[in-house]
Amino acid sequence: MKRVAVLGATGYSGIELLKLLAAHGGTEVSAVSADKNAGQPLDKVIPSLKGFYKLTCQRIEQLFDMNFDAVFLALPHEQSASIGHKFLKSNTVVIDISAAFRIKDPDQFKKWYGFETSSELSGIAVYGLPELKREAIKRSRLIANPGCYPTGAIIPIAPFLKRKIIKNKGIIIDAKSGVTGAGRSPSQELHFSEVNEGFKAYKPASHRHIPEIEQELSEISGGTGITFVPHLVPMNRGIFTTVYAVADSKNIKQSELEDTLRDAYQQEPFIRVIGTPEMPNVSAVRGSNYIDIAVRYDEKNSIVILFSALDNLVKGASGQALQNMNIVLGFDEKQGLTAPPLFP
Ligand SMILES: NC(=O)c1ccc[n+]([C@@H]2O[C@H](COP(=O)([O-])OP(=O)(O)OC[C@H]3O[C@@H](n4cnc5c(N)ncnc54)[C@H](OP(=O)(O)O)[C@@H]3O)[C@@H](O)[C@H]2O)c1
């Protein structure tokens, strides 16, 4: 059994991770941390976990001297940035679900997040998108788990940039997220009466996930420019992303575009290519580690349109974090992640 700790266990990503770990079979959760809920029994704070864990939420400092095979940081960015190094021992892998170590350029990080993180740790962290970086993840001790929106955007776009089927500038990413994407802390704009029956864009062309998406896509294309507009929709979980990209040539066939997705991802256990005339739907991936993707060609305007649907708490956060743990600790990559989506 591998000993793991979940920091930020009482947040949405921490809870999702504990749910997945309860069914993993190769791990023992030896410690969990919380902030306001420190000192409380875990199953009192999270009644859905009653009967699965006999743990009390501790303060992070109480875990510094304990030994773990894997430590998950499901914390606000600032907290991950300030305590990540404390757990980086020779036989411990740290998997950070926050953005603290995702951005390689320290100036970019400070510009978008408003504080400084450790450039040394960001330098050694591997961006944990298994479908693009599996070999590097295997050798890593610090994994920067990707953001939920970036996962939904990068996976469908990457194969088309690799094959130069789309231009690397002027890519428009229009994404819609459920409310759990904002975390568990209450705020006025997340009240039921504010969100229910509403639908709005927020932070157009100014969301923090822009540098992360551009950084990862630029590794493929040598410089990618995106316009990203996120939206909030009244559902608990899920992100649906639509991408508009200008085709690099006019001689493109729909079948060629679909083949590009299938060639790139046919071996991937958690990517399902949805063929014409079907469409991805967040209801078909809910509660699972799948990301469903599709492509269409707008021939009249030479626009390649890409679609993806994922669960922000699973493939967009904790499922992907567990997938990364499986890779780096030598488990079957699918272990604990094979339950089918929740439908209806
Ligand atoms: N939600 C998503 O869909 C999603 C997707 C991808 C990545 N992420 C990232 O994952 C991280 C966690 O997100 P979340 O949505 O799970 O957040 P959340 O629901 O707000 O939970 C935050 C967790 O961190 C603890 N915490 C808060 N402030 C703390 C502090 N000052 N010191 C120590 N612990 C503290 C909280 O403990 P208490 O409950 O005791 O306050 C709670 O356990 C964030 O960095 C987020 O950006 C989230």
**Does the CB atom of residue 98 touch ligand 1 within 6 A?**
yes
Buried b (16+ CB within 10 A) or exposed e, 3-42: bbbbbbbbbbbbbbbbbbbeebebbebbbbbbeebbeeeb
57 is catalytic: no
The pLDDT of residue 26 is: 98
Sign of the C-alpha dihedral computed for residues 101, 107, 108 and 111 taken in this order: positive
- Answer yes or no: is pLDDT of 217 > 90: yes
Average pLDDT over residues 27-55: 97
Q: Which residue has the higher pLDDT, 77 or 186?
A: 77
3.40.190.10, 1.25.40.10, 3.40.50.300, 3.40.50.720: CATH of 2-124: 3.40.50.720
> Domain limits of the chain?
2-124, 148-311
Average pLDDT, the chain: 97
Write down the pLDDT at residue 62: 97
Residue 244's beta-bridge partner residues? 172, 305
* Minimum CA distance residue for ligand 1 atom 2: 181
Q: Residue 79's pLDDT band (boundaries 50, 70, 90)?
A: very high
CATH of domain 148-311: 3.30.360.10
Residue 186 has pLDDT above 90, yes or no: no
Look at ligand 1, atom 30, and give the residue with the nearest C-alpha.
35
Omega of the bond leading into 277 within 30 degrees of 0 (cis): yes
Common-topology check for domains 2-124 and 148-311: no
The one catalytic residue in 148, 247, 264, 294 is 148
CA of 11 to the centre of ligand 1 (A): 5
Whether 196 lines ligand 1, by a CB cut-off of 6 Å, is no
Name the pLDDT band for 249 (thresholds 50, 70, 90): confident
Q: Give percent of the chain with pLDDT exceeding 70.
A: 100
| The model's pTM | 0.97
pLDDT band at 213 (very low <50, low <70, confident <90, very high): very high
What's the whole-number mean pLDDT along residues 266-278? Answer: 97
Residue 244, pLDDT score: 98
Among the listed residues 341, 329, 19, 315, the one whose alpha carbon sits nearest the alpha carbon of residue 6: 19
Looking at ligand 1, which residue's alpha carbon is closest to its atom 32? 35
Per-residue model confidence (pLDDT) at position 161: 98
| pLDDT above 90 (res 248) | yes
* Ligand 1 contact via 36 beta carbon (within 6 Å): yes
**Does residue 70 register a pLDDT over 90?**
yes
Nearest to 2 by CA among 328, 343, 338, 340: 328
Q: Where are the alpha helices (DSSP H) in the chain?
A: 12-22, 42-45, 77-83, 106-113, 119-124, 130-138, 148-162, 192-195, 209-221, 254-265, 319-329
- pLDDT tens string 87-127: 998 799 999 999 999 999 999 999 999 999 999 999 999 99
Q: Which SS3 state, helix, strand or coil, does residue 217 take?
A: helix
The answer, yes or no, to whether any atom of ligand 1 lies below 6 A from the CB of 34, is: yes
Report the pLDDT value the prediction gives residue 250, as an integer from 0 to 100. 81
Confidence at 188, pLDDT banded by 50, 70, 90: very high
* pLDDT attached to residue 89: 81
